[in-house]
Structure 1
Amino acid sequence: MTTNQPQILRPASYVYGQWHTAKDGQTLYDAIYGRPVAIISSEGVDFAQALAYGREQGAALRKLTFHTRARMLRSLGTYLLERKEDYYALNLLTGATRRDGWVDIEGGIGTLFSYSSMARRELPDERFLPDGKVEVLGKGGTFVGRHILVPRDGVAVQINAYNFPVWGMLEKFAPAFIAGMPSLVKPAPQTAYLTERVVRDIIASGLIPEGALQLVTGDPGDLLSHVEEQDMVAFTGSAATAQKLRVHPNIVARNVPFMTEADSLNASVLGLSVRPEDPEFTLFIKEVAREITGKAGQKCTAIRRPLVPRDRVDAVVEALRKELAKVTLGDPARDDVRMGALVSVEQRERVRGTLEQLQRDAEIVIGGGESELLGGDREKGAFLDPTVLLCRDPLNARGPHELEAFGPVATLMPYDTLDDAVQLAKMGRGSLAASVITHDRAEATELVLGMASTHGRLLVLNRDNAGESTGHGSPLPQLKHGGPGRAGGGEELAGIAGVKHHMNKVAVQADPTTLMAVTREYVPGAEVQEDVIHPFRKSFDEIQPGDSLLTHRRTVTEADIVNFAGLTGDHFYAHVDEIGAKEGIFGKRVAHGYFLISAAAGQFVSAAPGPVLANYGLESLRFIEPVGIGDTIRTRLTCKRKIRKELRPGETRPTGVVEWRSEITNQHGQLVATYDILTLVERARDGFDPPAEPQPQGQGAEA
């Protein structure tokens, strides 16, 4: 523990390629002892110039491929992790414990790794993203269309809340960066010094293009007056502030996309079937206690309304009292402190004011006083003890469903039926997250489907998944973070959907060959390239979309069908029963569908060793026309697209995946079956691969 006066920081803004520090500004105080910790200001920042600079510099970012941007994010994540202890030190000044800081700091950096991985796994190594299937728009197949996604030409303006100064920035920055859109970050003033420290390291790293990230500390001034049609605005904070910003005259006039992630009155439902002796009861108590005390309750996803069966209210109150009694309050720099302070004295007073209003409909059953403080200052610091209220008639109350005490406060609500629980959950008018704690699958299903329309994320927690569950209040990069109604109607993260949100979707209509040239993916009906070199004899670098092979013909015989049935054990009547087959839908015996695939492989495979190393998979298989005894088949194999694979630890042979379109036709030219084949193909080592391991030298080794 330390009580020494910390150095007063002067967080700067980083705009139009330079750091900008104002002489005077707003003084910020640490949340534990109330000492001056930082002075921030955006005085002198030209917001119009900053946005124009981002749009201009963004051209370089847009020219990079998804994979290149993803590799940059991965390197940046590694760079920031090496400096995390600097961030943890500043984190303590915000009133948060190290455990709270782990969610913010390492959780935020982890988002960079997650988006890097998802982009390299799910997106092509291109600057654009083909979206959906090719639509045939003309009877003759010469007029087709497809959607593609391209980066917007503007800047992603990101206005963040104070409670997660690192994660709140990086969870918006990561998908925008992958999409090719530069970010201008405006953190909340209370914790802007921590955001600035991370941004300072990002800029110093030199790992991302100039202009890809700008930072404005202090007041946002007339920033929103200068956004344009290609820009976007993403806001995290209170629903009231979101409503004001959403109708900013310039945003409305220019139809600028505005995304909100607002605080919400999230619920957690203890199932009717759960008894105090069940594991789920203990899970519920621990989850509610953790959400009340984590970040001192300053989480947009925190549990504000625990819903419990009426006959278990007393048991829940007693168990929660015991659990919260373990929580020590004080200076988060101390190892024996489990909960720190709110971010500021002003925030503490706002929470106290809301608590007074909540008591019109509810009574305090836990807390409400001042426990022993382990370090810190009760008056100058922003401490508030965990507090639990009980609203005995929640269906007829208003306050607990409308007022959010953004701190260590929750209001218990009893319910009698599952329908009542669903109704109570919906009375929050839209929430980011809710949880259902039960081991009864029917009960879970009824609650989930009942609550789904007004929530962005639903967690079902029980004894089976508790060991791996990330908890009620933890958004994940792979899943949606947002919610309808009061929660803002926005959608952040959600895996690649978060990337697509920053891109413009355009429908491209053309002939198949032109569309293939634009999208760099084979389009059925497009001109193909055939030469004397078998496609399987070409390396990953040599093969191109549209390269094709039309095989020799093969007539299917009765022996083929009988032998395949004997080999596989598939004696389905349509293949081997003459009488049954005549009475079936085909009117005759037909070849097995999987025989056709096997026969096609025999037609197009090149048997000798070569660049093709393995069959990687088969997708989108459809059987279209039956093939009977005496029918003749042939196969066209066409390169559809290529996907570069990165070398994994221990791998020495660079490879890529080639997706082939396989079309089997009969003697009448009718399509019999179609599917995509994935092959693992050797490629040349490139600049993105790690250096090759040196070959051993000495006796018995080749030089």
Structure 2
Amino acid sequence: MTHVATLQSLIGGRWIGSQASAPLHSAITGKVMFHTHAERIDFDEAIVYARKTAVPALMAMDFQTRAASLKALAMYLMERKEALYAISQHTGATRADSWVDIEGGIGTLFAFASMGSRELPSSNVLHEGPAIALGKRGGFAGTHIMVPRGGVAVHINAFNFPIWGLLEKFAPSYLAAMPCIGKPASATSYLTEALVRMIEQSGILPPGALQLVIGSTGDLLDRLRGDDVVTFTGSADTALKLRTNPNLMRNSVPFTAEADSLNCAILAPDIAPDDPEFELFVKEVVREMTGKSGQKCTAIRRVIVPENRVDALAERLRERLSKVVVGDPQAEGVRMGALASLDQQRDVAERLALLAAGNEVVFGAADGFHPVGDDVAGGAFFAPTLLLCRDGANNAAVHDVEAFGPVSTMITYSAAGGIDEAVQLAARGKGSLVSTLCTRDPRIAARAVPGLAAFHGRVLVLEREAAVDSTGHGAPLPQLKHGGPGRAGGGEELGGVRAVRHFLQRAALQGSPTMLAAVTGEYVRGAAVQESPIHPFRKHFEELQMGDSLLTHRRTVTEADIVNFGGVSGDYFYMHFDEIAARDTQFGKRIAHGYFVLSAAAGLFVSPAPGPVLANYGLDNLRFVAPVAIGDTIRARLTCKRKVDRQRVDDKGIGQGVVAWDVQVTNQHEELVASYDILTLVMKQH
């Protein structure tokens, strides 16, 4: 008799669970593979451990060190990914399906590590500037800061992405210094448990940074406070039940939901069957129907198509679907696996019956559905099924009922109604995660996308130019927002560093510029500066302090400067060379090139000899505030604005940091004429 393992929860720094409870079946064979554990979890212990052990450990780090540890964790997991693939096949996933879950999840760690390293400070205070003067005399200013909440993030995830679902939430909350308690859906929790064991064995994360709940959440939500956060992925009904938890409402605990929705793909009227876009559309629909066996929150459920194209589209889709081999992912040629569980198989069948009522079945189980592989009779397989609704305006089911499997419905719109009617049908979904618009006409895109964006979290415009690099309809990217309005939950995930901000607390800060600079760790104009005989460019990264400043000598701009700069740059714009034409402008005279002023300022503050400053790699926030005329005298103030220790070393093992310098260029009247930030790489002493 094969031993059936009992899954365990990671609570309070130890694994608990030895008594078997609910059986978990292989999606391929239907055989029992694991059990959840019967032991009740002490959620007070989990919360206290997170608050007293993990929060201080995470706060002892900063954004940059947490980003570095995320990268180390991603590298560790990538080296061990094959062990996860071996387990993932029991969820019914093919290798391609598992790639999205496993390497997509690990890739999300890499992405947030990289974005955190580039965009977050070497501290635990994120300044959302610029500061704003609140008084006429410069002594009072205001700005916004974001700081760690000091609480716990509870992530409740769905069954369809047991690895990506946890990691895409864990990465930004970890960067925000929030320890996480992950609760995967039981059906595929064995894969999440394997991942968390791997993470715990790595020793990369501080103790308590990630805890795991197998089974029920019990009274966990009843123990949360206002500094905690809850995220949820799953059904809209469950989201409503959790969202209205009295304790969450009483304490205003932030709650983010990403719920299943009726995503759509629209074939625009300008696309004909012979166009490359038509074939791209066919491929996208079939990929979304069969990828993960249609068990994706972003899968295309409604295919909105012109009535004069529906027969051609149905024929192409039938042709492609008939070639999809369904069965055991280990069997040769299989392109689509099983649903995650027998319960899911029954649920999809029930919902398909509701959708099929009054509609045509274009392709389905009657078209030769025979899963391949050994011992698959008890598996949770389901035939790819395509329906056709010719009256989408009066058939409510196609806009209300979601079969969370390989099921899509074509819905026609009229030539008279055109793209506007298609957008109206899309809106009948009452809010979705993603929509695709297939068109070659920019005018159609410009007309349709605003309407689609009002009801969808993401809009993909599909055509031949974008298809070269497009990740497709259903792929949430770490750099872009994931989530949608209405039925889709109204929440936001991912979206680059903005996802980290979801787990931070924003506060308005008021005070003198000097105080604002001290709190934010970033120089604020008007704050006190430190000047010394040592040029700031002669200081190593460790020696530099925020506020270190240099006020340069002066330089008078001459006509020769303008002529020479025009000759070097090739910029002979009339404002610099035509005295008569310039006289009729708002300036009333010739002025210097803005980029000459920029170059001249660099000549004033640069220390030319070799030293710790290695390279200037960019300018931010450049503004030419006032004109500089022939005879004006300029000088610059260079101030160390911000230091970011990205913990990088060169090929000789010498460390480097990033320094942002505030530059203010003024004229002889002390008026600001140019303003910008310079970004430099600066060498460390060791």
Please report the TM-score for the alignment, with normalisation by the length of structure 2.
0.96
Given candidates 285, 292, 302, the residue that maps to 1:295 is: 292
How far did 1:645 drift? 4.5
**Distance verdict in 2 for CA 1:93–1:378, change over 3 Å:** closer
Q: Distance in 2 between matches of 1:654 and 1:397?
A: 65
Asked whether the 8 Å contact 2:662–2:676 carries over to 1, the reply is yes
* Residue of structure 2 equivalent to 1:386: 384
Greater mean deviation of Cα atoms: 460-469 or 370-379: 370-379
Provide Cα deviations, 1:517-560, integer angstroms capped at 9, x if missing partner: 11111110111111111111112221211111111122233333
Q: Distance in 2 between matches of 1:675 and 1:468?
A: 35
Output the CA distance in 2 between the equivalents of 1:267 and 1:227: 37
Partners of 1:70 and 1:568 in 2: how far apart? Answer: 41
- Single out whichever of 413-422 and 566-575 deviates more from structure 2: 566-575
For the 8 Å contact 1:626–1:672, the answer to whether it is kept is yes
CA–CA distance in 2 between the matches of 1:575 and 1:401? 62
> 1:354 deviation in Å?
0.8
Residue 609 of structure 2 corresponds to: 608
Equivalent residues in 2 for 1:153-302, closer than 5 Å: 153-302=150-299
Flag structure 2 segments of 5+ consecutive residues without an equivalent: none
Residues 619-638 of structure 1 aligned to structure 2 (within 5 Å): 619-638=620-639
Corresponding letter in the other structure for 1:13: S
Q: Which moved more, 1:115-124 or 1:442-451?
A: 442-451
Instruction: Indicate the residue corresponding to 1:701 in structure 2.
Output: none
- How far apart, CA to CA, are the structure 2 residues paired with 1:123 and 1:246? 31
Distance change (3 Å), C-alpha of 1:531 and 1:650: closer
Q: What does residue 688 of structure 1 align with?
A: none
Structure 1 segments unaligned to the other structure (5+ residues): 686-703
- For residue 592 of structure 1, what is the aligned residue in structure 2? 593
Cα distance in 2 for partners of 1:542, 1:643 equals 13
CA distance in 1, matches of 2:672, 2:410: 63
CA contact (8 A) 1:104 1:167 kept: yes
Name the CA distance, whole Å, in 2 between partners of 1:475 and 1:373. 30
Contact 2:650 2:656 in 1 (8 A): no
Letter aligned with residue 463 of structure 2: N
Secondary structure of the structure 2 residue equivalent to 1:410: strand
Partner of 2:537: 536
Distance 1:32 1:562, change over 3 A: closer
Deviation at 1:125, TM superposition (A): 1.8
Are the aligned partners of 1:430 and 1:483 in contact in 2 as well (CA < 8 Å)?
yes
CA distance in 2, matches of 1:345, 1:479: 34
Alpha-carbon distance in 2 for matches of 1:592, 1:81: 51
Aligned to 1:673: 674
The one-character-per-residue Cα deviations of 1:36-70 (angstroms, maximum 9, x if unpaired) are: 11110363211122112112221211221111111
The 5-angstrom pairing of residues 88-127 of structure 1 reads 88-127=85-124
Aligned: 1:55 with 2:51: yes
Of 11, 16, 22, 1:15 maps to 11
Check conservation: 2:622, 2:674, Cα contact below 8 A: yes
| Contact 1:361–1:398 (Cα < 8 Å) also in 2 | no
Q: For the Cα contact (< 8 Å) 1:42–1:219, is it kept in 2?
A: no
Structure 2 counterpart of 1:411, which letter?
T
Asked whether 1:134 is paired with 2:131, we answer yes
Task: Give the equivalent residue in structure 2 for 1:698.
Answer: none
Query: What's the CA shift for 1:75?
Result: 1.2
1:330 and 1:376 in contact (8 A); partners too: no
In 2, Cα distance between the equivalents of 1:643 and 1:355? Answer: 55
Q: Give the corresponding residue for 2:20.
A: 24
Q: How large is the RMSD of aligned CA atoms in angstroms?
A: 1.7
Structure 1 residue 653 displacement after superposition? 5.0
CA distance in 2, matches of 1:321, 1:533: 75
- Which range is displaced more, 276-285 or 575-584? 575-584
Matched, 1:552 2:553: yes
- Amino acid aligned to 2:381: F
1:485 corresponds to 2:482: no
Residue 332 of structure 2, aligned match among 313, 332, 335: 335
| Counterpart residue type for residue 638 of structure 2 | L
How far residue 585 of structure 1 moved from its aligned partner, in angstroms, is 1.0
Cα displacement (A) at 1:462: 1.7
Retained in 1: the 8 A contact 2:528–2:547?
yes
Shift in CA distance, 577/611, structure 1 to aligned 2, threshold 3 Å: same
Q: CA deviation at 1:595?
A: 2.3
**1:472-504 residue CA offsets vs partner (Å, 9 max, x unmatched):** 111111111100000000101111111110000
Distance (Å, rounded) in 2 between the aligned partners of 1:596 and 1:231: 50
State the partner residue of 2:36.
40
Which whole-Å CA distance do the structure 2 matches of 1:396 and 1:537 have between them? 74
Aligned to 1:348: 345
Is this contact kept in 1: 2:28–2:328, CA < 8 A?
yes
Aligned to 1:661: 662
Between the aligned partners of 1:87 and 1:565, the Cα distance in structure 2 is 62
Q: Offset of 1:406 from its aligned partner?
A: 0.6
Shift of 1:122: 1.2
**Is this contact kept in 2: 1:645–1:654, CA < 8 A?**
no
Identity %: 56
